[in-house]
Amino acid sequence: MNARFYAPDAHRPGDLVPLPGDEAEHLTRVLRLKAGDALRVFNGHGREFDATVEQADKDGVRVRLGDFAAAAPEPRVAITLAQAVLKGDKMDDVVRDATMMGAAAIQPILTTRAEVTRGSLVRGRRRERWERIAVSSAKQCGRATVPRILDAIEFDELIDALGKMLLPLPGLMLVEPRAASETTPASELDLSPQRAATVLIGPEGGWTPSEIERGASVCRLITVGSRTLRADVMCVVALSAFFTMWREF
């Protein structure tokens, strides 16, 4: 298969569209493609095209869109991963992995034990960084959809928002085996397919008891096995379990 590039302006066959700076750089400097070379582009919203490089020079890269190409199917359940911001580079790994796993959106959340502030995320331009990581992961895993990266919010804001949804229990909150009394193993989840779900995953130090209590008002508390899993791998474990239950895997 030809190399894949992210072209957010790609909408209709026949159009001439520019590649963003990072993508143009990758095309010219790393893969050394030239005018006339074939490639594939995806627009991050589920569309994928065959395409041809029409211009690749110091003014940038433009590609001519050919036919629609078959994109890897998206999961039928749109999962928003509400992930407590992890330390250091761990959150980068979560964004990369959640994109590969098929999350529809990633909602960073600030919890009591997540040692990070909203201000530090803004100053560090972390959302922009995570967006680049999501694009890069979509390129590698063959997805034509790039999950939306939302602005970080407080845990309580998330719970309030979930409480206003018209679903019986809109959230699936991952908890440690012995962290709460009323928990449901992932394999006992209702098999009826749902269209959307928010999956809540805590930070390295776990949820506080009061977060679990608040969460339980709008979420099912879900366990995956009896071991203590690392926070940065939990999104892969949880999405694998849910997609298996929902027959996406």
Nearest distance, CB of residue 246 and its own copies, angstroms: 8
The three-state secondary structure class of 95 is helix
Annotate each residue in 9-38 with x if it binds its own copies (CB under 8 A) or - if it does not, as one string. Answer: ------------------------------
Q: Which member of 18, 60, 75, 205 binds its own copies (CB under 8 A)?
A: 75
Q: Which member of 51, 101, 121, 173 binds its own copies (CB under 8 A)?
A: 101
Binding flag, residue 153, its own copies (CB under 8 A): no
Nearest distance, CB of residue 72 and its own copies, angstroms: 5
The three-state secondary structure class of 190 is coil
Residues 6+ apart with CB under 8 A from 192: none
* CB of 49 or CB of 246, closer to its own copies: 246
Residues 6+ apart with CB under 8 A from 139: 4, 5, 6
DSSP state of 240: H
* C-alpha to C-alpha distance for 200 and 248, rounded to whole angstroms: 20
Binding flag, residue 236, its own copies (CB under 8 A): yes
Binding flag, residue 229, its own copies (CB under 8 A): yes
Which stretch in 9-17, 28-36, 112-120, 236-244 sits in contact with its own copies by CB under 8 A?
236-244
Q: Which member of 97, 103, 149, 173 binds its own copies (CB under 8 A)?
A: 97
Asked if 55 and 61 count as a contact pair (C-beta separation under 8 A), the reply is yes
Type of residue at 222: I
* C-alpha to C-alpha distance for 31 and 25, rounded to whole angstroms: 9
Nearest distance, CB of residue 14 and its own copies, angstroms: 28
